[in-house]
Chain A
């Protein structure tokens, strides 16, 4: 279409079809479309696109939506039922999830996986022990009370969770200690952390000039070693504050591992389907999309699992260490050079200050002095002359007297 000879823009043809032109312009464009083959073709294309787009329809609104909103309308304004909003989606999500066609395949794969896991349990347990060296080294033997070992943590696959049962506790503690010798206590902290196979997550020291030095640190200590490490730390000085707490993450971890297993099984099955079966492009695309979604879920859950295991495996200790403050008496006199230099600086400052003060005085009193000098000049001069004349006359008469 040659735009320079065209009276109607292509966008106007579209706007006409969308009913966006005023009646007068619409009539002009309609007439033009009738007459112009290229604009007629464009109009046909645009209609075709809209018709094709109609193919993408969504399913009717779920009945629950109407029920909840209608219930909220019936409530007095501003008192909508929030619980409905929170409960329904979860129920709905699970319901839909359970009805999904993939879930059946996923469930059967999970069962198979479970059987394999049971059969290979001893081997997995050995691998597990190797992956949790810190817990073993400190005790010399496998500590069956170690929540990491019981919970299946330690960086291995989540499918071992079913093998053992027991609480998984993420422990935290905080200590505030005042030590007599700061340097010794600081070195001792590092030694204690090394001794208990832990590490320092972060550390900051503060040494102000006229106050006590402090050290704040986050120590990560293997959970089984926590009690011993705290006892060692408490020996560093006077304990001002101590707190300990534990969060039971057993259920959270078990749920996570179960979901992870299900998702892995689903992923495997989907990949098998993609490799072994042929079908319509729509089905292939759907499977690919489902695989991408499942993989994203697996990555998220894997990260969450590792984080939980880390929290259980290593207890967190917030340590605040400060020294007993001793004020220091400075007795050293300054050197001769320093004193001479100070005298020169002081002399220079005094000179400049005196110049400045004089200038200030002149500026302050100068104008009023000048004013009175001008005012009193003539009367003073007159009086002076009179006095001199009187004196001269007096002298003359006294000289001329007999």
Chain B
């Protein structure tokens, strides 16, 4: 990022190549529409581009990038003003076309959907965005210890939701 700030376009191209898929995945798992996820991913990189001159290396670039993405996501949710809750939104979110087992993917999505919003966000940031506890704490502006305890609770809750209920169809075993 510092190299790009000094005029190296290749540096930003490399950053973009590295984070393109993770940022798209970030929005895709949290929003209902693929096209909107694409727009917001693009908007995230554009925002970083626009703010290049003001960028200060106070934290990891990754933390900064996900911070921008989370802000845009929050703005999108406010703007859309939809009546659906976050949980419903995740439930209807990404089409698991990229996975090998769509049933299993759907099962996971529904299990995640049942978590409360805070736990879900921490879990998604850890499992899919692969952020460290410290990075999650920085992005969500909460203490590291809270991240650890909430993540543990989220995983324990998810374990319960992932267990097939009696009478419910089970996901195919991959």
Contacts and interface: CB of A to CB of B under 8 A. Distances in A.
Contacts of B169: 280-281
A142 to B, nearest CB: 40
B35 A96 contact: yes
A289 to B, nearest CB: 5
A32 interface: no
Interface string A13-38: 01100101000000000000000000
Given A14-B151, A96-B34, A280-B169, A292 B104 contact: no
Contact of B38 (A74, A89, A286): A89
Contacts of A69: 16, 20, 42, 45-46, 49
Contacts of B12: 73
Contact of A80 (B46, B103, B151, B168): B46
A146 B168 CA distance: 57
A20 B133 contact: yes
A55 B34 contact: no
Is chain A's binding surface mostly helix, strand, loop or mixed? Answer: helix
Contacts of A11: 148-149, 152
Contact of B148 (A20, A49, A50, A96): A20
A281 B132 CA distance: 35
B30 to A, nearest CB: 11
A49 B155 contact: yes
Point out which of B33, B35, B84 has the most chain A C-beta atoms below 10 A from its C-beta: B35
Interface residues of A, number: 47
Contacts of A282: 102-103, 106
B68 interface: no
A73 B16 contact: yes
Contact of B159 (A45, A65, A80): A45
Nearest to A300: B82
B16 A70 contact: yes
Contact of B97 (A59, A289, A296): A59
Nearest to A94: B35
A89 B110 CA distance: 28
Instruction: Classify chain B's interface size.
Output: 35 or more
Interface stretch (B21-29, B58-66, B70-78): B21-29
B139 interface: no
Contacts of B127: 50, 53
Contacts, number: 151
Contacts of B110: 285
Interface string B32-48: 11111011011101100
Nearest to B134: A20
B98 interface: yes
B95 interface: yes
Contacts of B158: 49, 53
B99 A289 contact: no
B117 interface: no
B25 A58 contact: yes
Point out which of A56, A68, A281 has the most chain B C-beta atoms below 10 A from its C-beta: A56
B98 A92 contact: no
B69 interface: no
A208 interface: no
Contacts of B99: 55-57
B31 to A, nearest CB: 11
A72 B43 CA distance: 11
B108 A66 contact: no
Contact of A61 (B21, B50, B95, B97): B21
Nearest to B158: A49
A333 interface: no
A73 B46 CA distance: 9
A282 B127 CA distance: 23
27 contacts: A14-B148, A45-B159, A52-B108, A53-B127, A53-B128, A53-B158, A56-B94, A56-B96, A58-B24, A58-B94, A58-B98, A60-B98, A65-B38, A69-B42, A72-B49, A73-B13, A74-B9, A77-B53, A96-B34, A280-B169, A281-B106, A281-B168, A281-B169, A285-B110, A289-B92, A292-B88, A296-B84
Interface of B: 9, 12-13, 16, 20-21, 24-25, 28-29, 32-36, 38-39, 41-43, 45-46, 49-50, 52-53, 82-84, 88, 91-92, 94-110, 112, 126-128, 132-133, 148-149, 151-152, 155, 158-159, 162, 168-169, 174
Interface of A: 10-11, 14-15, 18, 20, 45-46, 49-50, 52-53, 55-62, 64-66, 68-70, 72-74, 77-78, 80, 85, 88-89, 92-93, 96, 280-282, 285-286, 289, 292-293, 296
The 8 closest A-B pairs by CB, nearest first: A57-B98, A281-B169, A55-B104, A57-B99, A93-B35, A58-B28, A89-B39, A61-B24
